[in-house]
A and B are shown apart, each in its own frame.
Chain A
């Protein structure tokens, strides 16, 4: 077996398959286009294909050369300010998949086509990751967003949304209509008043809307006997509850930007979290390397985006986090009492066993927390029990963080806690016959509720149910009452509060496409509220929030800005919390995995949330941040756990817990805590639209996407299950993951690493302070160009930089790019063949120390670096040299342009691209299979037109047989240039042009601009000492460069290689001798230092001073 490195080295790898060089990985490597890449999707026979092709050829001959008549539908009265074809941006605030989003929606000719964060929204504006110190802050302002936010636009044009009112008792397919429903609602409201609400109930999910809450309060006041049940499909974080229990009932939000030391205990604030965009943005504020850089500890069981971004990460079972916290708290108390910290450096951290590692982490964390009192922050994850949250709250208080890094704000007035029941209360009331009529404003409770709450059975017992549904789902299927379509949040009036309480209004961006109504209007009608117009309801609420009725001017201002300035909730300064019992201090036991003493950590899916986004193909096909899985969920385990339990990748494992049993496909992920199984729920929807029931093959039998985790989810147990049994079943299951796609083979890697270091580069802060250019070594042999060097001194020279120190791998850019550039979705089958179309892939590399050969099998505590890779627009691009038809050519401004209409699909360019960023349309994904949607079903014309509305008209929709790749958002470049020229300037000023990925990046890791402008931000980044170009040794001069990652690891927790990074090792085996001392520059002429490397490895000097040196190791 060829290992990518010798023992005693640090290895970067994307997957265990790569680390171990398994046949699966080899297969991806050795075929430029993976096996079966030239095969048809499942279910299309060769004969069928020939028929299709024959027909399309014949038709093509008839129609291909003629324009069909086209109509222009002009306005009768053109709206004021509207210029056809010119996008407008509108601010709005929506509640979407459990998160309040503050958005700027790009609206083109009356249809929203893109969403981005609203950078003016106070919490976002306060935490702008700025370090340039120029006056372009306003120009570069972008709030960033998350993948789920970016994808909300696709759900708007989902033809599977409910488009009609279904009356009770009607045969499936029979429809009611709004007038019938209104009659029903009016009669119901009268009855409601008669009975004072007795027997009536409202089941609602927290939707952050003050107006909705106001209607509920109104209902409760007018009908005292009405019952309100609140149900969150993804349980609320217990942190606010913890503060409440300790005497400070408050809205809690964190200020990561103010924290110098961050400790995350199983909390995925930067990844799978409703406010990940905000927290990532705040986090990035402290990530500019330098003495003031923040330090981020992460202790967690599953590898999360947060853990990847951390400076130091300790894998620890979630069930042991309480003990760990107890130990930290105890040490903090001791240090506060005057004890001095002892954080030894010897022996190096990497030589410790896991108990000693944890002990040192505890000591180091406690010391840092105490040293940074008031500037530190401890956060616990949502699946941790209440006791942990209580202890965290107390610890933050003891450290003086309250009011600083933990902002507590007085809660707005609303429903009292006692007035609200739970889902269980609803079920109990229904069973007892106390509840007869129920209005459901919660998304699909039948599917999303824990399996020990029999919601479906209870609904069946009720006399009348009204379900406001987004689409026809499991709940609609069983409720047997009225099912009425709810408008998409982008279609409806509404409102929500930001984390700090800032009030924002949701204004509809388009009339409801499928005739749905906003939840405000539905609720108002059903409870007989005097005002049913949702805009008026919101206006009333806005008046209440602002304290006075808004005149038309202020109302328009509110809509324009997206928020009501000064409407933040009143902050509470450092309240005194009541004391808590100290957590039992954890005694680390041995590293032992026992088959029946495992834990399972359940979390809502990072892409499809609780399942409600299952019909969103962008999200289904988004490679999940850590596993890079698409179209599936899996049981994620560590390599050691898998070995000890006999589990294999892509085989089912039977998991059982207290009688509940579930089978899940196994995914082995290094860095997962041993004995811990991570499972995301939301998959396995049975009643869902075309995307959610398929995507696994052309013409395949419909089946649910992923596994329903239902049996394991029980309210009585919670999201953290202990004492779980797992056994292998050896039943195969095909998982599609992109982690090994577009990798470079070992020989190539070793050659290139010899010449110009690794693809990803990282170092410690200590190393950076000593030598900021640690990662910037350039190939030092003479680079001779085979081609005529382009003259780039004139005009613009577009370039990009990506700061790996800020990139968390959150995937927002991937979906933003998809939305901006009309990138098709291809389905699980096609992804398995390596045909995914995303222009940006986020390579996530594990970095592990290899001490002995067993580390190849089970790398210990690997750290992680993420690296977004899209076309880097090489100045002497290899792809261009091999295109036989000049379909990919260079522009004067350095863009590697694609002329789709010229491309004949030889794929030579993809073959010759060293970065593997070119994507080929094997099929007419966008037209034959529907836009991002339903490739199994030929959609009818109306639905296709609806889907097509999401397309960006500024970008060509590519057809079959055409190569495509990142264009640096050429449409934005051209439009910015035209705009600049119309304004009388011949240059686009810095900051007037942002690419879609840059705009979506919550941490502003991506900077784009003109390299010929020496003051542009991107120029500054290109001259940053950390700057390096990937594969610089090929002398192709990429325009996208990376900034090496810097980890602020305390010395006590540094591995041996971090303590002795030993970069400037020089072997005189070839080329002239460069000292390291003259390494000053960052231009291509700068001297670099050879580092003997093999494959992915850093070569390292052993303490004794010898250097591992090998060109190929056969182990």
Chain B
């Protein structure tokens, strides 16, 4: 064996430039992909499709203070919150009978100017065809999110869907990206509240604590002086311990 080291011949030097270009190109590609992947458009933030029925959550959940579960009644029972059947709308917005009398309560009867907004609902009711709602909050097919698992443990609707009760037209307000999910799974305290308040979208930990008696507060191990985020955190921490809430961040939690 000779002890000469293998040396690249001199002519290979010109490939250095090519290599540099490749590295630059790769960086550019990688950066571009990163920006594309984290772009709000990609993440669908602000996605606000036109729905077949101009249903206003602001009126129903906001002004009328209807509980979310009146319509999304499987949210605490199943993976899907589920879009309500037409029948749920008809409970209040029934069409006129052929004689012209409202069959059930008619908040907006056929003659009212708002009728055209209800047309799709009534058409569905008469024809038996589904209302073709457009899905807004979507996760990839390989992600398995379970509403009941979160709602029953005190994660409010508002955490992921924001103030739906203020939306005339619902849009996606949060990222719904993987980091966003994992952040909360690793640090759940600020997002927990007593399970009975999950559908109260304007709930504030601070206000809640203020409303408690000193006895209740001491039971929770809190002073009641906490404010803002600190209050939410302190309460969340307490709830987490009490209910043994221990969200995992391994892959199998969401990917099956």
* Interface residues in chain A, defined as those with a beta carbon under 8 Å from any beta carbon in chain B: 65-67, 69-78, 83-86, 889-892, 895, 897-902, 954-957, 967, 970-971, 973-975, 978, 981-982, 986
B139 CB, nearest partner CB in chain A, Å: 10
Contacts of A978 in B (CB 8 A): 146, 148-149
| A71-B82 in contact given A897-B251, A954-B144 (Cβ < 8 Å) | no
> Given A83-B74, A84-B74, A956-B141 in contact, is the A75-B252 Cβ separation under 8 Å?
no
Given contacts A899-B251, A974-B144, 15 further A-B contacts (CB under 8 A): A65-B36, A67-B44, A69-B49, A69-B134, A71-B134, A75-B85, A75-B130, A78-B85, A85-B80, A889-B250, A954-B144, A974-B252, A974-B253, A974-B256, A981-B152
Q: Does B19 contact A (CB under 8 A)?
A: no
Given contacts A70-B135, A71-B132, A76-B130, contact A895 B148 (CB under 8 A): no
B141 to A: closest C-beta gap in Å: 7
Contact status B250-A897, CB under 8 Å: yes
When the two chains form the complex, which single residue of A77, A84, A889, A986 contacts B87, counting CB atoms closer than 8 Å? A77
Q: DSSP majority for the B interface?
A: loop
**Bound form: Cα–Cα A11–B78 in Å:** 53
Cβ-defined contact, B142 with A901, below 8 A: yes
Report whether B77 and A86 are in contact in the complex, using a CB–CB cutoff of 8 Å: yes
B86 within 8 A of A: yes
Given the known interface contacts A75-B86, A981-B149, the answer about A70 and B134 at a Cβ–Cβ threshold of 8 Å is: yes
Name the residue on A nearest B252 (C-beta): A897
A-B contact pairs, 29 of them (CB 8 A): A70-B134, A73-B131, A73-B132, A73-B133, A74-B131, A75-B86, A75-B87, A76-B85, A76-B129, A85-B79, A85-B80, A85-B82, A891-B248, A895-B252, A897-B251, A898-B251, A898-B255, A954-B144, A954-B256, A955-B256, A956-B141, A967-B252, A974-B146, A974-B253, A974-B256, A975-B146, A981-B153, A982-B76, A982-B149
Write out the residue numbers on chain B whose beta carbons fall within 8 Å of the beta carbon of A897: 250-252, 255
Contacts of B80 in A (CB 8 A): 84-85
**Known A-B contacts A956-B142, A971-B144, A982-B152; A74 and B253 likewise in contact (beta carbons under 8 Å):** no
Task: Compute how far the CA of A560 lies from the CA of B198 in the bound complex, rounded to whole angstroms.
Answer: 36
Flag whether B125 is at the interface (Cβ < 8 A): yes
Q: How near does chain B come to A281, taking the closest CB pair, in angstroms? A: 30
Contact A890 B87 (CB under 8 A): no
A72: chain B residues at CB < 8 Å are 83, 132-135
Q: Does B5 contact A (CB under 8 A)?
A: no
Does A956 contact B255, Cβ atoms closer than 8 Å? Answer: yes
Cα separation A1067 to B2 with both chains bound (whole Å): 49
Q: Which of B74, B79, B134, B253 has the most CB of A within 10 A?
A: B79
B124 within 8 A of A: yes
The reply to whether B85 and A74 contact each other, CB–CB distance below 8 Å, is yes
B63 within 8 A of A: no
Q: Of A65, A76, A902, A957, which contacts B37 at CB under 8 A?
A: A65
CB proximity of B188 to chain A, nearest CB, Å: 14
- Looking at the assembled complex, report how far the CB atom of B137 sits from the nearest CB atom of chain A, in whole angstroms: 11
| C-alpha gap A74/B131 in the complex (Å) | 6
Looking at the assembled complex, report how far the CB atom of A920 sits from the nearest CB atom of chain B, in whole angstroms.
Answer: 17
Q: How far is the CB of B87 from chain A (nearest CB, A)?
A: 5
Contact A77 B85 (CB under 8 A): yes
Asked if B84 lies at the interface with its beta carbon under 8 angstroms from chain A, I say yes
Cβ of B140 within 8 Å of any chain A Cβ, yes or no, is yes
For residue B9, CB closer than 8 A to chain A, the reply is no
In chain B, positions 207-256 with a C-beta closer than 8 Å to chain A are 244, 248, 250-253, 255-256
Output the residue of A78, A902, A954 with the most chain B CB within 10 A: A78
**B97 interfacial by beta-carbon distance below 8 Å:** no
With A70-B138, A72-B134, A981-B149 in contact, do A83 and B78 touch (Cβ < 8 Å)? yes
Return chain A residues, CB-CB under 8 Å to B131: 73-74
Cα distance A898–B252 when bound, in Å? 7
Cβ of A973: which chain B residues have Cβ within 8 Å of it? Answer: 252
CB distance from B126 to the nearest CB of A (A): 9
Cα of A880 to Cα of B139 in the assembled complex, Å = 27
Q: Which of A892, A895, A902 has the most CB of B within 10 A?
A: A892
Chain B 59-84 interface residues, beta-carbon cutoff 8 Å to A: 74, 76-80, 82-84
**Smallest distance from the beta carbon of B155 to chain A beta carbons, Å?**
12
Which residues of A are found within 8 Å of B148, using beta-carbon distances? 978, 982
B42 at the interface (CB under 8 A from A): yes
Chain B: minimal CB distance from A818 (Å) = 16
**Cα distance A974–B130 in the bound complex, in angstroms:** 31
Verify A901–B77 contact, CB threshold 8 A: no
